[in-house]
Amino acid sequence: MCLNRNIRIHPIPNSWYRVCFSKDLRPGEVKPLRYFNKDLVLFRTESGEARVFDAHCRHLGAHLGHGGKVTGEGIQCPYHGWIWDKEAHCSHVPYPHTGCNPTVKIGKWPVSEHNGTIYTYYDSEGHPPTWEMPKFPEFYSGEWVSAIQIYKRDVTCSIQEIAENNSDTAHFSHLHGARFGKVLHESLEFDGLNRTHIAAYEIEIPILSKLLGIDEFHTTYQQYGLGCNRNIVFLKAKGKKVLEWRLICMHTPIDKHNAEALCITKLKKFINIPITRFIVELLTKKACEEVDKDAMVWDNKVYLEHPPLYKEEHSISQFREWCQNFYSEVDKQELAKWKLDKTEQTRAIPALPRS
């Protein structure tokens, strides 16, 4: 991690973000989370609903994610046994002759669960979501095989800068090397809160190119808010679709300086399951190597508000403009000041003592 960081760090954008995979939270299970610069508790109720509350009990501050127990649709604090119901209101105080005050409550976060994923919605002013994460068909069909490998790594970088990576097509051939050759075609669309980027590249993946003649990587890259992007990829041989692959990245802010980067992949059944499994793991290994190169850059870069962009890099400016959709008014005002200040601020953060 680079300590000489630009002092311009974006606020956390308002968006849906992944906090857990569905399979990793059984009914009755409780997990502590640390995202959005907050301590949170995630639990699954007895009826199977996933819930996210602020972590600290409103009574005397115990962390519900450490020792808390699911009771029906709510959670019981490990310290004095107060129960917080499905709306995060106090519903039970286990003292004799004492009722509970139902107006006492803790923070409850919006939760949505599909695509095998539990998402929660972050809004810097606590407003409810105005849009939903869509369902992706590949999560609901037996035609798809998931890779066992996933990419997961914490990076010191703001969510907006991580998401900018895919608008920066000039880095593909240099950072990602010969595997991405000539750009065959490219288009970019912004539709309200969604963004679609269609691109095709010449590609060479040694085994697949040799065995299946793969020579083109055609991707429709869809971004949903700043926390999720889905690449619909066709690997083609002489213009014919051979393999259909999905690369789904779900990055979650830990705080405004740091994020958890995560990617999963799926391949549509090709010939039979063992062959599909072999190919999806091969593609995923390559994808992990490439995302790791991005992560090296993310971990050490600074954010420049006034970069000297060439006209081929117009998509970066468009992307930055589009990102305004995901900030609260107060954050936008702060970001607008950056535009007026033409000096790039790269004041050093003092280095930590080295042992």
**CB-nearer residue toward ligand FES: 27 or 61:** 61
String marking each residue 66-95 x if it binds ligand FES according to CB under 6 A: -----------x-xx-x-------------
Q: Which does 80 bind (CB under 5 to 8 A by kind): Fe ion, ligand FES, none?
A: ligand FES
Site for ligand FES in 194-223 (CB under 6 A): none
The answer to whether 255 and 124 are in contact (CB under 8 A) is: no
Closer Cβ to Fe ion, 44 or 179, answer by number: 179
d(CA 66, CA 77): 9
Listing from the earlier edge strand, what are the strands of the sheet with 74-76? 69-71, 74-76, 83-84, 90-92
Query: Which candidate, 204, 207, 224, 226, places its Cα nearest to that of 215?
Result: 204
Kindly state the number of chain residues that form the binding site for ligand FES, as judged by CB under 6 A: 9
**Minimum distance from CB of 81 to ligand FES (Å)?**
6
Q: Which of 21, 32, 39, 59 binds ligand FES (CB under 6 A)?
A: 59
Q: Phi/psi of residue 308, each to 5°?
A: -80, 80
- Partner in contact with 294, chosen from ligand FES, Fe ion, none, beta carbon below 5 to 8 Å by kind: Fe ion
Question: Which residues, other chains included, contact 77 with Cβ-Cβ below 8 Å and sequence gap of 6+?
Answer: 57, 59, 62, 64, 68, 83, 84
Q: Which residues bind Fe ion (CB under 5 A)?
A: 165, 294
82 binds, among ligand FES, Fe ion, none (CB under 5 to 8 A by kind): ligand FES
Closest of 115, 45, 122, 66 to residue 262, by C-alpha? 115
Q: How far is the CB of 60 from ligand FES (least distance, A)?
A: 4
Our CB check for ligand FES shows the closer of 82 and 224 to be: 82
66 interacts with, out of Fe ion, ligand FES, none, CB within 5 to 8 A per kind:
none
Q: How far apart are CA 260 and CA 263, in angstroms?
A: 10
d(CA 230, CA 136) in angstroms, rounded, equals 9
Residues near ligand FES (CB under 6 A): 57, 59-62, 77, 79-80, 82
